[in-house]
Amino acid sequence: MTITDREPQALDVLDDAGRKLLFTEARTANTFAATAVTDGELAMIWELARWSPSAANSQPLRVLFVRTREGKERLVRHLDEGNRAKTLSAPAVAVLAYDTDFHEQMPTVFPARGDMLRAAFADQTEKRENIAAYNSALQTGVFLLAVRAAGLAAGPMAGFDEASLNKEFFAGTSWRSHLVVNIGHPGADPWFPRLPRVPVEGAVAWA
């Protein structure tokens, strides 16, 4: 039997409960219960999120988990006024960032060509920035699914001063913030009304 004669590998299909949890019934939380988010739950989120795809397995996404009152007070100074109360009430907050020096990890994450890729990117600061920003955004989608898979709700927010937040938490590093995600169990009246999706005929084309 040749390789082409083999039966194709059958992949598992997510059941209805899983589809509802991750997609069709999932919502952005706007209030959170006081129930603590544990170290184990945060570790589970990252354990799932770190398997997300990225170009050349570059994995530029980085995360800062903020749970203490002191840490959240440092954080909210850099958020838009309308986002501060939600972040202060969330049991945990993830500041998602990308590492502009992701190429330093290439020998670890892409052993077959890692040294070559690290050298190729070494003097290409702008190109690294673009690659890191795009791929961390791709990984961020998986991070939000990982929060849901851990039985928690996510409240992603982009309303903040990136430069001042970076200075507060990432000074002297190659990390750059790009999204703040409140994490916890839903609180009272946590969901806004479900908004419509783009009609299929306006979003899908066939060739």
**17-40 residue pLDDT tens:** 999 999 999 999 999 999 999 999
Q: pLDDT value at position 7? A: 81
Domain presence at residue 164: yes
DSSP label at residue 8: P
Domain count, the chain: 1
3-state DSSP percent of the chain in helix, strand and coil, to 5: 45, 15, 35
At 148, the amino acid letter reads R
Domain presence at residue 85: yes
Residues 185 and 35: beta-carbon distance below 8 Å: yes
How does the average pLDDT of the chain come out, rounded? 96
Domain presence at residue 65: yes
Q: In 3-state terms, what secondary structure has residue 152? A: coil
The CA-based dihedral angle spanning residues 169, 172, 173, 179, taken in that order and rounded to the nearest 10 degrees: 30
Q: How far is CA 204 from the centre of its chain?
A: 25
Q: What string of DSSP letters covers 63-126? A: EEEE-SHHHHHHHHTTB-HHHHHHHHHSSEEEEEEEETTGGGGHHHHSTTTHHHHHHHHTT-HH
Residues 41 and 152: beta-carbon distance below 8 Å: yes
State the pLDDT confidence band at 6, using cuts at 50, 70 and 90: confident
Q: In 3-state terms, what secondary structure has residue 29? A: coil
State the pLDDT confidence band at 66, using cuts at 50, 70 and 90: very high
Domain presence at residue 84: yes
Q: pLDDT value at position 3? A: 61
Mean pLDDT of 178-193: 96
CATH number at residue 107: 3.40.109.10
Number of residues that make up the chain: 207
Instruction: Indicate the pairing of strand 153-157 with strand 175-184.
Output: antiparallel
**How crowded is residue 182: how many other Cβ atoms within 10 Å of its Cβ?**
27
Q: In 3-state terms, what secondary structure has residue 168? A: helix
* Alpha-carbon gap, residue 146 to 140, rounded angstroms: 10
Mean pLDDT of 65-77: 97
Domain presence at residue 33: yes
At 45, the amino acid letter reads I
Q: Which domain holds residue 161?
A: 28-187
Domain presence at residue 137: yes
Q: What is the pLDDT of residues 108-129, one digit of tens each?
A: 999 999 999 999 999 999 999 9
Mean pLDDT of 98-106: 98
Q: What is the pLDDT of residues 125-169, one digit of tens each?
A: 999 999 999 999 999 999 999 999 999 999 999 999 999 999 999
Q: pLDDT value at position 8? A: 83
Strand partners, 94: 65, 181
Domain presence at residue 19: no
Domain presence at residue 13: no
Per-residue tokens: 50 = 């770190």
Does the pLDDT value for residue 1 go beyond 60?
no
CA angle 144, 74, 156 (to 5 degrees): 20
Continuous segment of H or E residues that includes residue 145: helix 125-149
